[in-house]
Homo-oligomer: A and B are copies of this chain.
Amino acid sequence: MINVGIIGFGYWGPNVARNFNASPEARLTAICDLRPQRRLVATTTYPFIKGYSDPSEVINDPEIDVVAVVTPVSSHYELARQALLNGKHVFVEKPFTMNSQQAQDLIDLAASRDLKIMVDHTFLFTGAVQKMKEIIEAGELGQPLCYDSVRINLGLFQHDVNVVWDLAPHDFSIMCHLIKDRPVAVSAQGVSHYNGDLEDVAYITVYFENPHLIAHFHLNWLSPVKIRRTIVSGNRKMLLWDDVAADEKVKIYDRGVELKIETSEEHVHNLLINYRIGDVYVPKLDATEALKKEVDYFIDCLNKNVEPFNNGQAGLMVVKLLEAANRSIAQKGQLVKLNE
């Protein structure tokens, strides 16, 4: 049985607590929140737990094996570091840290102590992303050619981060999960209107080692309509994910371009580009709550001593992309390499 303590019981913490509590191989033992009223809600809902007011109480509690850090990003690094130093595994909200140096420190610290980090990129455990992963890994799309992601609507504005840090962690983590190719550079554009220098509209292009692959992200708090749509075009098939659709969220299109080079007397090389339009297939998606699957997976990784795929490295790559996007926006699209 793995004992879990949670730091932070605001908007998302209750969901994390509920799922750890429901996990048959985990035991929720403590919840910490600075606010007395939130502690009261926690201890009323789970009368068997310890209600702490200071995060160090969780971190120092010898009974606890896993610390879940469900706080604003500014405190992730320090809380996760203290937990790792005290020998606890860490489950931490996204984005992982405020910068890539912090993320690397935590990864190194966990490695040196043989501890695990899971970054809570919940979207990776939705039925839609799981199905897309399955389809892409099975090679159905062939070689990916273009990854296009749009996540736009009217607000909600965040007071302390721009639209990139607010929305792109979702899309960057999904792209890194679905696409094997390694991102190498970013060019990004953005503009701010309402909240000082914080961009409310941003466009981000990601380049890969493979020069024929491109990914692009449109993030926008100023759209009159809500669109959450990702297109992955491969050389065999193409995929569309519409996360706003009530139904039929993921569609696989048997469509593509076929290329022939014809050699005749007249035309030594005559390029023939044809389109292939076949059936569309709309797979059924698993409707289980994503966070439940994620929490169960984390417990399973701990029991089997297996590194989770959404580990510190995965969290670090997202932070690197966020950093690079912000730097490129400040330079009006100037290419920013990820290993700079």
| A-to-B contact residues, CB < 8 Å | 145-146, 148, 154-155, 157, 159, 185, 187, 189-195, 201, 203, 205, 207, 211-214, 216, 218, 220-226, 231, 233, 235, 238-240, 244, 246-248, 251, 253-257, 259, 271, 273, 275, 277-284, 328, 332-335
**Given A154-B257, A332-B335, A333-B335, 14 new contacts (CB under 8 A):** A145-B222, A155-B257, A155-B273, A155-B275, A157-B273, A159-B273, A190-B214, A193-B235, A223-B238, A226-B247, A279-B281, A280-B281, A280-B282, A334-B334
Task: Show 18 A/B contacts (Cβ-Cβ < 8 Å), sorted by A.
Answer: A145-B201, A146-B220, A148-B220, A154-B257, A155-B257, A187-B187, A189-B205, A189-B207, A189-B216, A193-B235, A194-B259, A201-B214, A205-B333, A222-B238, A223-B238, A248-B280, A280-B281, A281-B281
Nearest chain B residue, comparing its CB with the CB of A331: B335
- How far is the CB of A186 from the nearest CB of chain B, in Å? 9
Nearest chain B residue, comparing its CB with the CB of A278: B284
Nearest chain B residue, comparing its CB with the CB of A158: B273
Distance of A246 Cα from B218 Cα, bound (Å): 22
- Neighbour of A203 across the interface among B205, B211, B238, CB < 8 A: B205
